[in-house]
Amino acid sequence: MLSVVIPSLNAAARLPMCLEALVAPAVSGLVTEVIVVDGGSQDASMAIADGFGAKVLTAPPGRGGQLKKGAEAARGAWLLFLHADTVLEAGWADEARGFISGDDARAGVFTLAFDASGFAPRLIRAGAMARTRIFKMPYGDQGLLVSRALYDAVGGYSDMPLFEDVDIIRRIIAHENRAALHIFKSKAVTDAARYQRRGYFRQAVTNLWRLMRYHAGVAPEQLAKSYR
């Protein structure tokens, strides 16, 4: 029914929590397979994925290409794409089960949250959700639940090192309409480490600046050089 695809690269710190949130839905029959596509990890990411019973594939590093390869191997009628540092909160499976029982010409993302408290993460989260609701431009950290039919119709993920999330959502919206993007109430809790290292507001401004340059035509390969 539902295939979960997770790209990983040195994700051992958060991957166990990401996979743990999929165990109960797998036992209930909602999640029928989990595919972890590793981009050359030097830590225990692949062993962790294997220990959870996931199918482990390898690909050159680059989230777009990893997601693309995972989708090609997936057998489910519905696909859930998750970042390895994203943990879906309890209850997500009930929402997803109801969603996939309806029209398959749509896609859904989760409500963004950070694994940190305080004013700054709450403000950044609010801005991200406003961007999601108003402009239909969610972050990849919010996951993507999409039918195989719609995924194939828009051409799937592109093998690009950055903004693969923006690229596919833009094609989904163009193929359907803005109402086609559903926002789940369940939270996708993502790692705040990058924001904490660089500062929440500095990172948010950097993200916005990169996005503006991407829309202005700067190649994702060039933008990716300053991403990590």
Q: Does residue 227 register a pLDDT over 80?
A: no
Q: Please give, one letter per residue, the 3-state secondary structure of 20-50.
A: HCCHHHHHHCCEEEEEEEECCCCCCHHHHHH
Mean pLDDT, range 186-198, rounded to an integer? 92
User: Chain-centre distance of CA 63, in angstroms?
Assistant: 10
Residue 86 is encoded by which pair of tokens? 């994203």
* Distance between first and last Cα of the chain: 35
The least confident of 37-41, 42-46, 132-136, 177-181 is 177-181
Mean pLDDT, range 19-30, rounded to an integer? 97
pLDDT of 226 = 67
What is the total count of domains within the chain? 1
The 10s digit of each residue's pLDDT in 100-116 is 997 788 899 999 999 99
Contacts of 4 (CB under 8 A, 6+ apart): 22, 31, 33, 34, 35, 79, 80, 81, 82
Q: Does residue 178 register a pLDDT over 70?
A: no
pLDDT of 30 = 97
> Distance between CA 199 and CA 193 in Å, rounded?
10
The 10s digit of each residue's pLDDT in 34-60 is 999 999 999 999 999 999 999 999 999
Contacts of 3 (CB under 8 A, 6+ apart): 31, 32, 33, 34, 35, 74, 75, 76, 78, 79, 80
Q: What is the CATH number of the domain that holds 203?
A: 3.90.550.10
Q: What is the CA radius of gyration of the chain?
A: 16
Q: Does residue 179 register a pLDDT over 80?
A: no
CA dihedral defined by 35, 38, 44, 50, rounded to 10 degrees?
Answer: 20
Q: Place 98 in a pLDDT band, splitting at 50, 70 and 90.
A: very high
pLDDT of 176 = 74
> Distance between CA 50 and CA 100 in Å, rounded?
27
* Mean pLDDT, rounded, of the chain: 93
Q: Does residue 97 register a pLDDT over 90?
A: yes
Strand arrangement of the beta sheet that strand 144-147 belongs to = 55-58, 31-38, 2-8, 78-81, 144-147, 107-114, 181-190, 86-88
Residue range of the domain that includes 151:
2-224
| 44 backbone dihedrals φ, ψ, rounded to 5° | -90, 20
pLDDT of 228 = 55
